[in-house]
Amino acid sequence: MRIQFDRFPNGVNKALTLSFDDGREHDRRLVKMLNDYGLKATFHLNSGTLGREGYVDPAEVEDLYRGHEIAAHTVSHPFLDRSPAEQIVWQVVEDRKALEALIRVPVKGMSYPYGTYSDQVVDLLRSVGIEYARTVNSHGSFALPEDSLRWHPTCHHKQMAEYAEKFVSLEQRHSHMALLYVWGHSYEFENDRNWELIERFGEIAGGRKDIWYATNAEIYAYSDALKRLRFSADNRIVHNPSALSVWISAEGDPVEIAAGQVVQL
């Protein structure tokens, strides 16, 4: 029995996620535009700047970002690779606590302030419950991360339309999971006066049945559930011990393995 991990929910091969940092006031306009096109994003917030001039207010966070994900970005946006271990832990844990108090959901993701990190930073994040962390090192491909705590995106939003066109027209000789990951800041759209990029992106990549639209956390959780599948020695029986349904290919055909179920292939 030939098994391949090459499917996202509903058996599709493509997924799309976005993430934006800092929680600036322009997130309000950005969220509305994302919602109009059925796109989902992760918003990385610095709890220490919420409520200041130019930033979203703590009281609006839960409603504003509903349907998207809130993730950590530290309390005050320091260079973590230049910080002592105690400060790194405090910055991340206190940011998690503040954001969790606002949205009443565990915060398990993060992006690195200024994109800087080190092996020590990564180890400390793992020790305080962070499951994934996005860098700013765009790789220009549609590959899933090899290391979730060094999650490199596809591109910055300045190239989002270009990569969206490549993504939707992607033809796979051999079936595999393809992920388009776009990152950026909402204030850049305002500063550069190029909000039309979001509209163009939504027109190209939004509302398609062959793409799964997900937050960073949903991508991570699905990938983790896929790895947890348990197979018999001959690959003809599979048990899904997780709380998420996952999809695989068996002899080239899509198969759903429902949460908690044992399936004969």
Interval 3-58: pLDDT, tens: 999 999 999 999 999 999 999 999 999 999 999 999 999 999 999 999 999 999 99
Average pLDDT over residues 99-116: 98
pLDDT of residue 58: 98
Average pLDDT over residues 166-194: 93
pLDDT for residue 172 is more than 80: no
d(CA 144, CA 220): 10
> Do residues 72 and 236 touch, judged by C-beta distance below 8 A?
no
pLDDT of residue 207: 96
Q: Is 14 exposed, middle or buried (0-12, 13-18, 19+ CB in 10 A)?
A: buried
CATH class label, 12-217: alpha beta
pLDDT of residue 101: 98
d(CA 194, CA 123): 38
pLDDT for residue 173 is more than 90: no
Tell me the pLDDT band of 124, cut-offs 50, 70 and 90.
very high
Interval 127-149: pLDDT, tens: 999 999 999 999 999 999 999 99
Amino acid letter at 118? S
The per-residue b/e assignment along 92-116, b for 16 or more CB within 10 angstroms, e otherwise, is bbbbbebbbebbeeebbbbbbbeee
What pTM was estimated for this model as a whole?
Answer: 0.96
Q: Write phi, then psi, for 55 (nearest 5 degrees).
A: -120, 160
> Do residues 180 and 16 touch, judged by C-beta distance below 8 A?
yes
pLDDT of residue 1: 87
What lies within 8 Å, CB to CB, of 95 at 6+ separation is 45, 46, 47, 48, 72, 73, 74, 75, 107
pLDDT of residue 95: 98
Closest CA to 94 of 82, 109, 112, 76: 76
d(CA 210, CA 170): 11
pLDDT for residue 174 is more than 80: no
Task: Tally the residues of the chain.
Answer: 265
Full DSSP string of 196-253: HHHHHHHHHHTT-TTEEE--HHHHHHHHHHHHT-EE-TTSSEEE--SSS-EEEEETTE
Interval 241-254: pLDDT, tens: 999 999 999 999 99
Instruction: State percent of the chain over pLDDT 70.
Output: 99
pLDDT of residue 263: 96
Mean of the per-residue pLDDT values of the chain: 97
Q: Is 224 exposed, middle or buried (0-12, 13-18, 19+ CB in 10 A)?
A: middle
Interval 212-236: pLDDT, tens: 999 999 999 999 999 999 999 999 9
